[in-house]
Structure 1
């Protein structure tokens, strides 16, 4: 690519259709996890352009140093992996809430990796790319693949990819303020481990694209920890399961977002509006997507 050009990368959010956290940990100290994830059409947008040094900014502005941002870490890791200076200016237009369980930091990292691959002419299937992604966070490899997938390990080892559930309506609701720290959720889980949900039914349903059975097997044994840390999440989960048109609902990841798979987009939008207007929560209607980061050249 000519250095004068910039690229825009859309970075999708995700929900965990299934999350089973094991009490056991791997050699890195991470909990062993089984998870099935799918992307959403709720996205951050990254603008990436060549610069004389690495620079990362977010809109709205983050309340922590940019050196701690996953996009910065991803760019730095790419430079180390490929022996090049990651001199890029990266602007992230944030729409995915932080500490929500929707994978915002991870998808931003994956989008950064894919954008740098485009600039440097690197094949995204290069084994070094997966290693870079795993070094940033457990969900980052998923966002490189994009379609619904089953991951093991610490949630970073892809096992199976499935046909997308494109267009399936989803309502997203969370407390207006605050969120749930992933580290605190896992610490609370350790204090009171929850039984693993049944997994094989979800995997078989994903393999056969049986939507009724997929949504019948939605489960998350980290949800109890999220609800204990943020009781309002438990309130939202109870409320959303009672709303018309809801096929399945649970906490996404470690929270604080509760997602509801809905019969229609109208039902999803009605839930989001009611959450905002009647309860003062954050609400958003979305749809399930079909892929990972999308790159447009400016």
Structure 2
């Protein structure tokens, strides 16, 4: 008897390196270099065949279903493979929105992989990569799992690396508000900054030299995020002063800050202090190798 539904985990990410190049190309987008790793904070998607495409979120979203990245991914899969994407998709949200942790992108990737499962499509089919890139810059990354370097708009897979499995991370963000990527790029364009050197990070990732990797963590979009939400600067300054923090930086376009910690206990202590003393949103997590993971219900 076939399964009634499948569950797909959709992990968040942090940018170990984010380099946005000043100026836009002819396509209207910035050139972006980024090195990302997934973490074990994740959304869970329940996907089941249905009479029509329906996407719901828990907690409920404050925007129309048609604007959800998972909905867009399902529609794009239907167009790419000339099939009706008639599924009910329920997203149990744990990754905060407008945080720079890749929530919408990972939900889209999980949707793509779930539909591949139902339709018997090889996820390495080149049409899958095209669908992913049509939804958003980070979606293609989430189809894989290991840390990776991406170029182009941040959507062209260049290199995969050994996972930094088990590396402790504390995530802290202001309790209210968030930063949209569009706003961050708009502010960046008003006073663009050159990206940090990329090659030292790539060399460290290739050789799996953790000390050097964390020494090269950089994000030239961070000042734009802090300008839009000054409390991010407060979080970043606070977390950099905490014991056992190896490095801390803004995640993507914000508003979350991540700190690489010496131990999981340190990450949990920082998260607890952020919650209790400052009433910020906080979570302890670990880096891992994880693309969308499918469990049959």
Partners of 2:46 and 2:112 lie apart in 1 by 13
Partners of 1:27 and 1:123 lie apart in 2 by 33
Q: Which residue of 2 aligns with 1:83?
A: 82
- For residues 198-209 of structure 1, the aligned pairs below 5 Å read 198-209=197-208
Partners of 1:292 and 1:54 lie apart in 2 by 24
- For residues 149-298 of structure 1, the aligned pairs below 5 Å read 149-298=148-297
Please report how far the alpha carbon of residue 145 of structure 1 lies from its aligned counterpart in structure 2 after TM superposition: 1.1
Aligned residues, how many?
297
**CA offsets, 1:117-173, max 9 Å, x none?**
000000000000000000000000000011100000000000000000011000000
- For residues 54-203 of structure 1, the aligned pairs below 5 Å read 54-203=53-202
Please report how far the alpha carbon of residue 259 of structure 1 lies from its aligned counterpart in structure 2 after TM superposition: 0.2
Please report how far the alpha carbon of residue 196 of structure 1 lies from its aligned counterpart in structure 2 after TM superposition: 1.1
Please report how far the alpha carbon of residue 62 of structure 1 lies from its aligned counterpart in structure 2 after TM superposition: 0.1
Partners of 1:86 and 1:28 lie apart in 2 by 29
Misfit runs of 4+, over 6 Å = none
Please report how far the alpha carbon of residue 5 of structure 1 lies from its aligned counterpart in structure 2 after TM superposition: 2.3
Partners of 1:201 and 1:243 lie apart in 2 by 26
The answer (yes or no) to whether the contact 1:102–1:252 under 8 Å persists in 2 is yes
* TM-score, with structure 2 as normaliser: 0.99
SS in 1 for 2:73: helix
* TM-score, with structure 1 as normaliser: 0.98
The answer (yes or no) to whether the contact 1:20–1:221 under 8 Å persists in 2 is yes
The answer (yes or no) to whether the contact 1:169–1:262 under 8 Å persists in 2 is yes
Please report how far the alpha carbon of residue 28 of structure 1 lies from its aligned counterpart in structure 2 after TM superposition: 2.5
Q: Pairwise CA RMSD of aligned residues?
A: 0.9
SS in 2 for 1:115: helix
SS in 1 for 2:249: strand
The answer (yes or no) to whether the contact 1:21–1:33 under 8 Å persists in 2 is yes
The answer (yes or no) to whether the contact 1:26–1:154 under 8 Å persists in 2 is no
Partners of 1:28 and 1:93 lie apart in 2 by 35
Partners of 2:26 and 2:135 lie apart in 1 by 16
Please report how far the alpha carbon of residue 26 of structure 1 lies from its aligned counterpart in structure 2 after TM superposition: 3.3
Please report how far the alpha carbon of residue 76 of structure 1 lies from its aligned counterpart in structure 2 after TM superposition: 0.2
Gaps of 5+ in 2: none
Partners of 2:233 and 2:75 lie apart in 1 by 38
The answer (yes or no) to whether the contact 2:23–2:189 under 8 Å persists in 1 is no
Gaps of 5+ in 1: none
The answer (yes or no) to whether the contact 1:26–1:153 under 8 Å persists in 2 is no
Partners of 1:32 and 1:119 lie apart in 2 by 35
